[in-house]
Structure 1
Amino acid sequence: MIEFLLVALKNANCPKPYRWLDLACGGGEILNFINLDKIGLTAEDIEFIGIDASPSEIDWANCVAQPGRSFYCESVFSIPEKIQDQRYDIVSAFEFLEHIIDPIAFLRTLSSFKHRLFICGSPLDEQVPLMFVPHHAWSYSHAGYKHLLEAAGQTCLYSSSAYIGKYIGGGYLDWNTCISSPFPTFENALTFTF
């Protein structure tokens, strides 16, 4: 999905370097494993920034950081101005929104970020409380996930649900993904000049 968004930025001739901010990035797994060669980009074409509140996760992310990746130990609830005041082509939050008590309030803070696209992913229809996952405050249906973004002032441009099934040990791998924007269409998001 991220590769698709990067190719869309490239095909729309958006100014380089592209900037991607990954909120609650953990150990940097997503930022570090994007294959730029596969989509015809180099480390000079994109600036990757990850933030997470866990010092050990950020230490690991920096130990394995690929070129062009920067990781900072910061809370996503109080992002420093040096990060918040930048423009971003992509802002992402994977495996995060299900953890916070008021996701709509958090998502509304995205309006303070200059960004084209927001992509997020969370487990789909977790069986709460019967199969409660520690630290998950929410379980989202496909329609509910889209509504969450729209209630926060974003336009849902794309959404999908992946029905993968159960894994050994009992949990589910089913997944929601949404791409949203403060703009009404992909074309508007990609052609906007910051």
Structure 2
Amino acid sequence: MPVQAGEDTSIANVDHLIRYAMVAPFVHGKRVLDISCGTGYGTQFMALQGAREVIGVDVDQSSIDFASKYYQHPQVSYLQSDAHYVRSLEDASFDLIVSFETIEHLQHPRQFLAELRRLLKPGGQLFLSCPNDHRVSPWISSYHLHRFRFTEFRDLFLSLFGEAVFFGQHYVIASCLVKPIAPKAKVSQFDAYQNSLPDGFFGQHYLEHLSSIEDADGYLAIVGVDESQLTNQMSLSQRAFQVLMHAMCHAEAARIGQQHDQIQLQHLQAQLAQAQQEVGIAQARIAAMESSKFWQLRQSWFHVKRRLGLPVNE
């Protein structure tokens, strides 16, 4: 769906942009299909990296309208279609296909993969990602129709394509010791991926823990690219960390406020219970008075005074 004005996408960018950046070295001079292109930022990026033509396909017309307006390029065109079968596209017509975080949304994953195989040229390249919804995460979408473990994703993919290289995508917390650098003016959200860190920027690298691909946060399947051409990728974002810390602080403040409200509610409930108890005691006393002989004689005396027309002061 289109990104709303004012929405901070820093965390999502760390997740999504690195996939397109990994594809970038392979798109030059090729006809590329970006299926489930969303708002089109990745589609445009691949055109900027030298693709001969890029077609972005998405089922959501509002996303296509947004992409056509904000992510235009002479080599880019957008098309609204169901991903299971893109009727207007011919067999074996693309050199390279990308589809990120799509398969889990679709009713028929196998049919979708068969459609990608139909559209890909012999010897063509395919990059396809899928999240691991069996992990613990607050970002697992309720719109996912399928939840794939790695072995399920791998076996389904290989049953259609025969062979592939698989990467795991891992979300990590990083801490960097960096000499003072002059910040560069940001032109687009892909700037960092167009101008990667120079060799030797980090002297030492430390890896405290990284899970196996079975426990990764997501999977990436690659067809038609020799494993020797693929390298591990890393995306660092201080802005994303700041957004996350802000969200955690906001959540903690909300928790403390909720705790304070709960204490206030308990205090008010205790006061109400005490007031109800005091009312009960008073009502019991009144009932006892009204049932006493003195009270009955007093009421009879008032009745006589009324009959005689005398003033009654109760």
2:144 to 130, 136, 145: 136
Which sits farther off after the overlay, 50-59 or 142-151? 142-151
Shift of 1:120: 0.8
1:22 aligns with 2:34: yes
Letter paired with 2:76 = R
**Contact 1:119 1:178 survives alignment (8 Å):** yes
The alpha-carbon distance between structure 1 residues 9 and 51, as it changes in their structure 2 partners (threshold 3 A), is: closer
Task: Measure, in 2, the Cα distance between the counterparts of 1:46 and 1:19.
Answer: 6
SS at match of 1:32: helix
Aligned to 1:63: 69
Helix, strand or coil at the partner of 1:77: coil
Q: Which of residues 155, 172, 182 is equivalent to 2:163? A: 155
Q: How does 1:43-192 map to 2 (within 5 A)?
A: 45-67=51-73, 68-81=75-88, 83-85=89-91, 87-115=93-121, 116-127=124-135, 133-156=141-164, 158-164=165-171, 174-181=217-224, 186=226
Aligned residue for 1:7? 25
- Could you give the per-residue CA deviations for residues 8-36 of structure 1, whole angstroms, max 9, x where no partner exists? 465xxxxx4x1110111111121123484
* Equivalent residue number for residue 184 of structure 2: none
> 1:154 Cα deviation (Å)?
4.0
Shift in Å, 1:3: 4.8
Which runs of 5 or more structure 1 residues have no equivalent in the other structure?
A: 11-15, 167-172, 188-194
Structure 1 pair 56–162 and aligned structure 2 pair: CA distance change class (3 A): same
Amino acid at match of 1:152: L
1:147 aligns to what SS in structure 2? helix
Moved over 6 A (4+): none
* Structure of greater relative contact order (alpha carbons < 8 Å, 6+ residues apart): 1
Distance 1:144 1:47, change over 3 A: same
Q: Tell me what 2:293 maps to.
A: none
Deviation at 1:176, TM superposition (A): 1.1
C-alpha distance after superposition, 1:78-131 (max 9, x if no partner): 3133x2346211112111101123212221223322430111112124359x98
Change (3 A) 1:132 1:31: closer
Structure whose residues are more often strand by fraction: 1
Partner SS, residue 75 of structure 1: coil
Write 1 or 2 for the structure with the bigger share of helix: 2
Give the stretch that moved more between structures: 102-111 or 55-64. Answer: 102-111
Q: Secondary structure at the match of 1:133?
A: coil
Superposition CA RMSD, Å: 3.0
Identity of aligned residues (%): 22
Q: Which amino acid aligns with 1:95?
A: E
Native 8 Å contact 1:142 1:161 kept in 2: no
Shift of 1:6: 4.8
TM-score normalised to structure 1 length: 0.70
CA-to-aligned-CA distance 1:23-70 (integer Å, 9 cap, x gap)? 11111121123484xxxx54xx52110111111100001012242111
Q: 1:127 to 1:21 in 2, by over 3 A?
A: same
The answer as to whether partners of 1:105 and 1:152 remain within 8 angstroms in 2 is: no
Give the greater-gyration-radius structure (CA).
2
